[in-house]
Each structure stands twice: as C-alpha cells, then as structure tokens.
Structure 1
Amino acid sequence: MFYKYLLCCTMIASVSLGCNSNGDDSDYAFIGGEIINPKNNSVVLYNTKGKVADTFLLDGNNRFIHKITNLQSGLYSIRHGGEYQMVLLEPNDSIMFRLNTHDFDESLVFTGNGAKKNNYLIKTYIANEKEAKKLSKYAQQEPEIFSAFIEKRKEKRLNEFHSFLEQNENVETPFFKSVIEANINYNAFADKEIYPFAYFGNNKLTHIKDLPENFYLHRSIVDYNATHLSNFFSYNRFLSSNIENLATHSYYDSNPYHSKFDRHALNYNKSKLDLIDSLIADETIKNNLLKYKAIDYISHNHTELDAKKLLDYYLTKSTNEDDKVYMKELVSNLKLLRRGNPLPNLTVVNYNDSEHLLTSIISKPTIIYFWSSNYKSQYRNSHYMVKKLKSVFPDMDFISINLNDNDDKYWKKIINNYDFSKHNEFKFKDSKSSRKTLAVSYLNKAIVVDENSTILHPNVNIFRSDFHNTLEELLQKKHLVAKQDAL
C-alpha cells in the first residue's frame, strides 16, 4: 500500500516539476514519506546550517509530503523523535522515505528521483562504521603499514563509487560527487590524524615528530572552509582530530621533551582555539568547533580558575552570541558540581510514575549515568557496562536516568524490551532544566557521589579503559569501598 502511495506522490512531484522545467521556478524539490511507530506527530527538516527549516505534520496514516521552494543544493537533515538522518537534496529531486523508529538507521529506505544518491550516502555511512570497528588492530602497526592500509582502503572505496557513477549516468551531479568523495576522503584523513594518539599513547606522544615525512600528505588538499560539509560527521571528525594533532607541537614547545602528554593542560587547549581561529574562516564551522573544544575542556574536573580562563579565551574567539550564553551558563552550573559539593536535589520519576528527590534515593556510594532512547548502541552499551561494574564494585549503587522529553511509553518499552532492572531506572521530571543543572552536555558523562550525596567526581566516563582505576582511587580516598579486582 505504501509503495502505491510513493508512486502516486512521485508522479505528482514529477508532473509538477516537469511543468516548471523551463521556467524560473525550478529551484524546488519534494520530500515525503511514512514513519512506522512514530514517536510524535511531526518530522522536522533542518537546513544546511543546522537550523530548523520546516516542520511537517504526519497525517492519519503517519505520512506526509511537502514541496520545498527556493531550494539550494546541500546536505539537509530530517529528524523525528530525537533521531536524525542526513539527506542530500538538489533542485528537481522528489524523495520519499520510509523508516521504522524501532530500527531507525537500518530501516531507512529512499525511493523516487534523488533516491539513489541518498541510498549511496547511507551506504558510505555504514561502511565508515564498519571500518571504525576494524581499525584498532591496524592502529598498533608501524606508521608505514598503517598509512598503506588507509590509502588502499580509501582508493578501493573511491573506485567503487566511480564504478557506481559509470553504471548510473543520470545520477551524477557535481554536488553529489563532491559529497561522497568528501565522505570517503575525510574519513581516511581523520584516521591518519587520530593514529599517533593510539600508536604512541600519552607517554610517547613526543615521537609524533618522527612520523614519515609523507604521513600527513593529505593536509595539502584539505579545505578548512567547506561550508557545504559543515554538518557532515566525517568532515567534522577530521577537523577535530586534526586540531588535536596540530596542537601537540605547541604542547611540546612549552613542556619537557619527554614529558607525559596531558590533553587537559590549559595551554594545550588554548592552542587548539588559536588554531581553529587561524585556520578556519567560515563562521559556522569555526564557531561549532570552538564550542566543542571549549566544552571538552570545561566539562572535565578542572579548577574553577582554569575553567574561567578557558571560557574567557573562548569568548574572544567565538562570534556566536547564543553559544557564548550557553558556555557562560555551563561554567556557572559546573561551579555547583565541584568535588565536595552536595548533589543538586532534582526531581526524578521512577518506572511506576512515582516522583522522588534524587538525593532521597541515594543511600550508599553511587554512580549516576545517563542515556537517551534515541541512541540504541549507547543505551545498550551503558547498561551492559554497568552490569560488569556491579560485579566489580558490589558495594556501590548505580542509578540510570533517561534524558528524553518524549512520551514515557518509549522509555518504558526499551526497559521492557531489554529487560533492564526497573529498580534503578528513572527519568527527570523536567529533563531540559535538569540536564542544564547537571551540565549533561554528552551522554557518556557519569557522576560519582558518596552515601550522603556529596560529589566525588562530577564527570567520569564509564567506557574509558582507566575508569575502574579512577573509581577505586576515589572510593579508597574516602575509605568507602575496599579495592576490588580489576575488570
């Protein structure tokens, strides 16, 4: 039935587009689709700068179709229930999609004029994810071996793409070609930039200068102002890792030659902001990267003075006034989350819809961790990791808090489907306000408190390889828990 609907919509779009093909009003496209198991009654379209462009209401059959006028070729995104997917849109496209929110990425299928471009884009995303899982073993190889592996993989994917274009001549446009090639290239470039941190580690990162001369040959063709890629994951992944890498040179200019690398050193993080400011002119790209790097530093357990120093430095670089307000609020909220301060007393709701003050459910050393219904791998992995931690730290408690604002039935359905223990599963009564109070700027943050709800650490990551050592040190200092066997 849905495919008849798609065919009908596509024919309408094609006729409409055809009638205007010789006129001035041809810079538009149609987008539509069907949402299976919708989380709300709308789909939001974001423009190429990440701003809301339009909101489409679903009809009684959870479907919609919409004409977008004055369209510029670009990477847009569609969002529903907190999840999103990039969509490549160009004039004269008529794209229809169908997705099931229970398996968002895997179920998404495009049809219509422009569908082949978007289906291939999804294919490159999936390939990037698969490659990331295999990369760790190659990251321990010698630089020459690693570089050859990355280059061979990149060329293989580019050749596959060019073969696809030869077989689908009507699909190729300059914009589509540039986007797919950028996705392949920048994913490879990012792997090269990340490599030294994995290969040398903090103790020997000074040897980054000893890498072969041609190891960073890709830097000669990098575009730091690729506006059309400003919301593209592989591009931003490259920029982030490239800035981290370049800043190591200034780190060793002001630290002893063989000293252990400290990614949280204030001067190192200030040098990252300097590099962003000097290399990038595009305001959207620059401001987003400045904000991300500043949050990365400020969110960790630095002194109030150092956090203020980096904030002040950030404020001289950014030109985004909304970002500046956000960062000032973040620093202000983090003051309340210093070690030794009481945990803010927020209201949470349990599985049975009973409200409790957060501190009232804490009676022993506790780790508070967070998850979102929109990120399946994250909530599965976080609960799995906590299960392992419970066996290592049996005297500790673990409180799980869902961050979503959507209907409780989705939160409870995940708990039931994965058989998570209902005993320590909660949601915030006011999620937006509570996230701000606890400065939850990313999902993998966790907070450690003692039996009196006093903060021992405001920001730990339970997925870090050294987490259990960090936790043991915290607890032993407080004489709360005897040292356990390592994971």
Structure 2
Amino acid sequence: MKYSFLALIIALTYSCSESPTKTYFGGEVVNPNSDYVYLYYDNNVIDSSKIDQSNRFSFKLDNAKDGLYHFDHNEYQYIILEKGDSLLMRLNTLDFDESLVYSGMGSEKNNFLIDMFLIYEDEEKAVNKYSELSPEEFLTKIDSLKSMKETLLNDINTKDPLSPIAKHIAQGAVNYRYFTDMEEYPFINKRRNGLTKIANLPANFYSFRKEVDYNDTLLMYYKPYFNYLVIHFNNLAYNYCKNECNGDLNYIERSLHYSTHKLQLIDSVVTKNKTIRDNLTRNVAFSFLLGRHSRAHNEEFMDAFHKYAGKNQHEEEINNFYQNVQNLQKGLTLPPIHLVDIKGNKVTIDSMSYKKNTVFYFWNYHQRDHQANVLTRIERLKKDYPNYNYVGINVNEDRSEWLQNLASISKLGDTLEQYQTDNIDELLGSLVIKSLNKIIIVDNKGKIIDGFGDIYHRKSLETSLSDSMKK
C-alpha cells in the first residue's frame, strides 16, 4: 500500500495515540539509482514504494507482523519493524551503508543494527590478524570486542527497554558474527601460521555453541545467522570426518562423505523449522554439485539428499540443477546454446556447429573490471593455444548497450566471436553458470573436455587445453 510522505510525517506525530496496530516506514534516498524501494518480510516482497521527485518514499503497514524485515534499493539492509513504529531513514546510494541513519519511533533498535553491521565490517581485518594468535589470546581479544557491543545494547535497553522480539534480534546481530569468527578461527589460524594441523583448543573454546538456536524463526532469513549455521555444520562435519573417516585431511571438504555427514547433522538437529532445514540442505546440495565430482558421486550424493532432506521446498530446483550438472560431464555432448549474433540473427550452436575445439567464456558489461580481466586472459590463451576457437557470450539483456561495448572491445584489438544470449535463465541453468569466471571447453564434435573450467585457474585450464590437443 502506498502512502504519501506528508501523511507519513503526520503519522510520525500521531501514530502512537491513533492506532498502535499501524506501522510506518519511509524516508529519503539521496542519489537514487532506481525508481522504487522494496520492502521484504521472510524474504518475500510485501510492498513497493515509488520514489517521488523529492527522493522520498513511504510505506504504511496495517497489522504488520513484528520482526525482521529488509528494504532493497539495489542494495539492502535489515530493519526491525513492530506495530506502532514510525520509522524514518535517510541514505545516500554513493555510500549506502555508511550514510544510513534512522529517526522516529523505532530508530534506536535500527541504528543499533546498522552500527553492528558497520562495526563488524571495520573489525574484519583486525579479527583476521588476531586469528594468528594462540587460542587463549584470540579468545581474550574477541571476547573484549563482543563485550563492548553487549554494553552498547544494554545501554540502549536501559534507556528505552526493547520488546522481547527486538532484543532477541539485536542480540542475534551481536552473537552470530562473533560465533562465526569463533568457528573460523581454527582454520584461519592453521592457514596463516602454516601449521600442518589445527592448534589444540581450550576445553571451553566452543562453549558459545550452547547459545545457538538451530530453529530460530525470528532470524531464519537473517544472513549472518544463516551464514553462521553453514560454517558451523561445515565444522561439525569436518571434525567428524577427521576422527571417523579415512582419507587425506586436506581433501575432506571435497569428499562425498563430508557432504553426506552435513546432511545427516542438519537432519538430526534442525527439527523444528523446516525452512531453515530446507535452506541449509539446499546449500549443501549446491556446494557439492558444483565441486566437479564424477557422475557416480553426484548420484550417490543425491540418493543421500533424498534420504536426509526429503520433501525439501527447493527439491525441484535442486533436481534440475543436478541434471544440468550431469549433462556437463566430460565426454558428453554440450547441450545446444541459443544465442543472437551481432547482426541480430538467432543462432543455435550445437554438435554440428564446431569446426575445431572451442572455448566458451562469459561476461557482463556492468562488471567492467571482470570484463577487462577476462578479455586479457582470453587474448593470452589465444596466443598460446591458437588452434582453438574462442566464443564470448554476453549475459546482459540490452542489445544496444552490448553493441556499444563490442565497439569499444574492437578498438582494443579484440576480434573474437561474440554473441548475446536470448534467454538468460535458460543459458545460466543449462550451462550451470554460477560465476562469470566459468569456462567451457569442447572438441570439434561438441564433446565436453571441461564443463567446469575457471578463467582464473590457469594451471587446470591449460592442462585441459593441452591434453585435448594431444588426442
């Protein structure tokens, strides 16, 4: 429901006395880069507000659910909204997070949320440096940082007591980034200090895990909470495999049994919130299936997935993804690719189209640095492996802007074949493109040499290119 900004200002004055069931949220976006602000609850868009000529937007919510929301204007941030709140915000898109500030009813808890976000960002380098210290020294440093945040939260709560819901979310903003730092410490410490094994940890090192709620409905769409759970289950599975499974410790995280253990662990403890369970097991599935495993191991994993994560709300998506991954296995024929050439002609590249071995690469004209890096690396490969054909596929939708970029590329000396997709979803799905670093290599009959190459993994890429030329 849209609401005029003038009406919002009036609501800020009278909302508490008039109707505690209403919630107001609005503000100003300096240098807007799109026409709308979108409001989400439980990861679903519940409303949109068009930015007016004064760069203002506003929402009025009737009987809104109290809890965690997020707003989006090409970037996003979380907010806590409760009945009776009349929240104003101001931000400048040129400095989105750092410029964000709230006022009005509900501002204290939301300024705390953005403060926690910015403080943790500022602390990231220091915490990484602390990770080189002994476990005892690290605990002292990290506990001190957490204590300062909790003091700030207590001060806010003393001045104007937060509701149980707001306090729970605010405490989660403190806890779960701290918990993540704790879970990551043993592995960062091992890597940065060049150790062969993880340092011995104090008996109480993981005592914070007693505070973890695996089924937290209020935080289930809060990214720091979800990211923590992912890392936590990674660690639990790693330590189980380290103690119970045979194999090279350096390759545990690539193993089938490691991912199977994660599914079992999630299934055993995330028992009261199906959404969290489904999202976590979806993450396990995508992580494994993108790991360049054999067809047989992919099949075994999917058997385990259906056993431990059955009736998943993402099941259709995961099954389709699995099938697309299996279709890109070495030796199979690359699925047909539907494209548009520079003249506007629709082109299908299939097994009959190849005259010689071919390298496919992908780019986006909004990602200027990536585009330049990819083209530079492709030019280098073209000189080192001239017997290959190199085909660039643009993933943007605007044809005129694509052609303008091609003109710029041509001035730099790039005369490689260039196409644009005419169906972005089909292309990304059938070719399993989760990153534009992706490279696909096929032979002159369209048989896949490498369906999961990476433009930045030069050694592996050159092995595929060299070996195929020997045949």
Please show how residues 350-369 of structure 1 align to structure 2 within 5 Å.
Answer: 354=344, 357=347, 366=359, 368-369=361-362
The equivalent of 2:18 in structure 1 is 20
| Alpha-carbon separation, structure 2, partners of 1:426 and 1:38 | 32
Q: Is 2:331 the counterpart of 1:340?
A: yes
Cα contact 2:365–2:371 (8 A) shared by 1: no
Cα pair distance change 1:262/1:18, threshold 3 Å: closer
The equivalent of 1:151 in structure 2 is 143
Cα contact 1:33–1:65 (8 A) shared by 2: yes
The equivalent of 1:88 in structure 2 is 80
Cα contact 2:66–2:82 (8 A) shared by 1: yes
Cα contact 1:415–1:421 (8 A) shared by 2: no
| Alpha-carbon separation, structure 1, partners of 2:391 and 2:122 | 31
Question: In the alignment, residue 290 of structure 1 is paired with which amino acid?
Answer: T
Q: Is 2:447 the counterpart of 1:457?
A: no
Please show how residues 21-420 of structure 1 align to structure 2 within 5 Å.
Answer: 21=19, 26-34=20-28, 41-47=35-41, 49-58=42-51, 63-81=56-74, 83-99=75-91, 104-106=96-98, 108-163=100-155, 165=157, 169-170=159-160, 172-200=162-190, 207-208=197-198, 210-256=200-246, 259-281=249-271, 282-318=273-309, 321-348=312-339, 354=344, 357=347, 366=359, 368-369=361-362, 379=367, 382-383=370-371, 386=374, 389=377, 393=381, 395=384, 399=392, 401-402=394-395
What SS does the corresponding residue of 1:54 show, helix, strand or coil? strand
Deviation per residue, 1:243-283 (Å, 9 max, x gap): 01111233134433764333121111010011111111211
Q: Is 2:460 the counterpart of 1:470?
A: yes
Displacement after TM superposition at 1:164 (Å): 5.0
Which moves more between the two structures, 271-280 or 36-45?
A: 36-45
Which moves more between the two structures, 130-139 or 357-366?
A: 357-366
Cα contact 1:116–1:171 (8 A) shared by 2: no
Report how many aligned residue pairs link the two structures: 454
Displacement after TM superposition at 1:293 (Å): 0.9
Displacement after TM superposition at 1:294 (Å): 1.0
Displacement after TM superposition at 1:46 (Å): 2.0
Cα pair distance change 1:409/1:151, threshold 3 Å: farther
Cα pair distance change 1:73/1:388, threshold 3 Å: farther
What SS does the corresponding residue of 1:65 show, helix, strand or coil? strand
What SS does the corresponding residue of 1:177 show, helix, strand or coil? helix
Question: In the alignment, residue 139 of structure 1 is paired with which amino acid?
Answer: S
| Alpha-carbon separation, structure 2, partners of 1:141 and 1:125 | 25
Cα contact 1:99–1:107 (8 A) shared by 2: yes
| Alpha-carbon separation, structure 2, partners of 1:372 and 1:237 | 30
Cα pair distance change 1:399/1:114, threshold 3 Å: farther
Cα contact 2:393–2:421 (8 A) shared by 1: no
| Alpha-carbon separation, structure 2, partners of 1:363 and 1:38 | 48
Give TM-score scaled by structure 2 length.
Answer: 0.80
Unaligned runs of 5+ in 1: 374-378, 481-487
Cα contact 1:301–1:457 (8 A) shared by 2: no
Cα contact 2:98–2:118 (8 A) shared by 1: no
Deviation per residue, 1:79-130 (Å, 9 max, x gap): 345x433222111112234455565445544443223432331222222233
Match of 1:428 among 411, 421, 425: 421
RMSD of the alignment, in Å?
4.1
What SS does the corresponding residue of 2:252 show, helix, strand or coil? coil
What SS does the corresponding residue of 1:196 show, helix, strand or coil? helix
Q: Is 2:430 the counterpart of 1:437?
A: yes
Cα pair distance change 1:174/1:410, threshold 3 Å: farther
What SS does the corresponding residue of 1:433 show, helix, strand or coil? helix
Question: In the alignment, residue 285 of structure 1 is paired with which amino acid?
Answer: I
| Alpha-carbon separation, structure 2, partners of 1:362 and 1:184 | 58
Cα pair distance change 1:402/1:153, threshold 3 Å: farther
Deviation per residue, 1:47-99 (Å, 9 max, x gap): 1x223323445556664422112222211122345x43322211111223445
Displacement after TM superposition at 1:306 (Å): 1.7
| Alpha-carbon separation, structure 1, partners of 2:406 and 2:421 | 16
Displacement after TM superposition at 1:194 (Å): 1.8
Displacement after TM superposition at 1:189 (Å): 1.0
Cα contact 1:37–1:102 (8 A) shared by 2: yes
| Alpha-carbon separation, structure 1, partners of 2:104 and 2:26 | 10
Cα contact 1:17–1:92 (8 A) shared by 2: yes
Question: In the alignment, residue 188 of structure 2 is paired with which amino acid?
Answer: A
Q: Among the aligned pairs, what percent are the same residue?
A: 27
Cα contact 2:340–2:346 (8 A) shared by 1: yes
Question: In the alignment, residue 430 of structure 1 is paired with which amino acid?
Answer: N
| Alpha-carbon separation, structure 1, partners of 2:87 and 2:400 | 31
Give TM-score scaled by structure 1 length.
Answer: 0.77
Greater C-alpha radius of gyration: 2
